[in-house]
């Protein structure tokens, strides 16, 4: 564990030297969450305004501002998950690419540390700060939305629901580890930086959409389904790290 922590700490310190990148990542989280909060507030205003309420009924028969809140919060959840997973995947891939570009990756492979610990440390360090931003921004948005009476009917998309907390603190992070482990393994095995970048982006696009959809579905499905999704992600992350470590051990000079 000390080896994992050492590599992870090194990666976190490296990210802290790039405040512009951290500001961009945080801004992306704020844009999605802030847009959802603004939309819910606008729907609350519409519901409280008879003329605006009638216009919504005329334009969208059978639809009310309250039902649109449910749609808004579920969309916020999906976009938040996919955004977070995409950022985590890119961060993990870049963590390896940075060492490759600096010429330090070969030295890391020859260090007295297991390959699995090296990859695990890289992944944990790369996702640490993006995960902190994801939790803080989405928790803040959820608490703001919770204070709006119009959102009470969509309580399972808010902090009053146990499923919401499981998704925030276990579902998202576990899938970010799996996607990040895949991207880190691919980046470490690629023979050049361009190939690693292309492969990472390929994984990011499909994996973030699939995982984001599954995470969003599991909140609506129930707690047992959520735990199954989390277990799947943890198993997948362990498998990806093990496979990546085994391949790295065959060619230390790569």
Residue 230's pLDDT is 94
Residue 173's pLDDT is 95
Say how far apart CA 173 and CA 176 lie, in whole Å.
Answer: 5
Work out whether the CA dihedral 19, 140, 162, 36 comes out positive or negative. negative
Q: Is the pLDDT of residue 253 over 60?
A: no
Q: Is the pLDDT of residue 239 over 80?
A: yes
Distance of CA 81 to the CA centre of its chain: 5
Residue 206's pLDDT is 83
Q: Of 221, 229, 213, which Cα lies nearest the Cα of 80?
A: 213
If one counts the domains in the chain, the total is: 1
Say how far apart CA 230 and CA 224 lie, in whole Å.
Answer: 10
More confident residue, 204 or 190: 204
Q: What is the number of other CB atoms lying within 10 angstroms of the CB of residue 195?
A: 13
Say how far apart CA 16 and CA 102 lie, in whole Å.
Answer: 18
Q: Is the pLDDT of residue 168 over 90?
A: yes
Which pair of structure tokens corresponds to residue 66?
């309250």
- pLDDT tens digits, 37-60: 999 999 999 988 888 888 877 887
Residues 177-187, mean pLDDT to the nearest whole number:
86
Residues 162-177, mean pLDDT to the nearest whole number:
94
Q: Of 187, 198, 183, 199, which Cα lies nearest the Cα of 236?
A: 183
Look up the pTM and report it: 0.87
User: Who contacts 11 (Cβ-Cβ below 8 Å, separation ≥6)?
Assistant: 95, 121, 122, 124, 125, 126, 128
**N-to-C CA span, the chain:** 25
**Domain assignment of residue 166, given as a range:** 2-250
More confident residue, 103 or 42: 42
Q: What is the 3-state secondary structure (H, E, C) of 138-180?
A: HHHHHHHHHCCHHHHHHHHHCCCCHHHHHHHHHHHHHHHHHHH
Residues 125-154, mean pLDDT to the nearest whole number:
93
Residue 207's pLDDT is 82
* Residue whose tokens read 């360090």: 125
């Amino acid at each position: 564990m000390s080896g994992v922590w050492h590599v992870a700490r090194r990666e976190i310190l490296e990210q802290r030297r790039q405040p512009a990148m951290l500001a961009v990542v945080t801004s992306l989280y704020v844009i999605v969450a802030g847009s959802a909060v603004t939309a819910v507030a606008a729907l609350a205003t519409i519901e409280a305004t008879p003329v605006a309420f009638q216009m919504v009924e005329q334009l969208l028969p059978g639809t009310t501002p309250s039902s649109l809140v449910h749609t808004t919060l579920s969309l916020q959840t999906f976009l938040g998950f996919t955004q977070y997973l995409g950022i985590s995947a890119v961060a993990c891939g870049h963590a390896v690419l940075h060492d490759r570009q600096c010429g330090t990756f070969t030295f890391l492979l020859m260090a007295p540390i297991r390959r699995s610990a090296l990859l695990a440390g890289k992944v944990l360090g790369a996702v640490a700060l993006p995960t902190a931003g994801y939790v803080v921004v989405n928790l803040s948005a959820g608490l703001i939305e919770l204070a709006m009476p119009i959102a009470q009917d969509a309580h399972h998309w808010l902090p009053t629901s146990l499923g919401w907390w499981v998704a925030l603190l276990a579902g998202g992070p576990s899938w970010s580890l799996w996607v990040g482990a895949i991207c880190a393994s691919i980046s470490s095995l690629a023979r050049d930086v361009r190939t690693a970048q292309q492969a990472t982006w390929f994984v990011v696009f499909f994996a973030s959409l699939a995982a984001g959809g599954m995470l969003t579905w599991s909140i609506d499905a129930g707690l047992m389904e959520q735990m199954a999704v989390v277990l799947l992600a943890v198993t997948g992350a362990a498998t990806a790290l093990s496979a990546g470590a085994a391949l790295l051990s065959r060619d230390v000079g790569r």
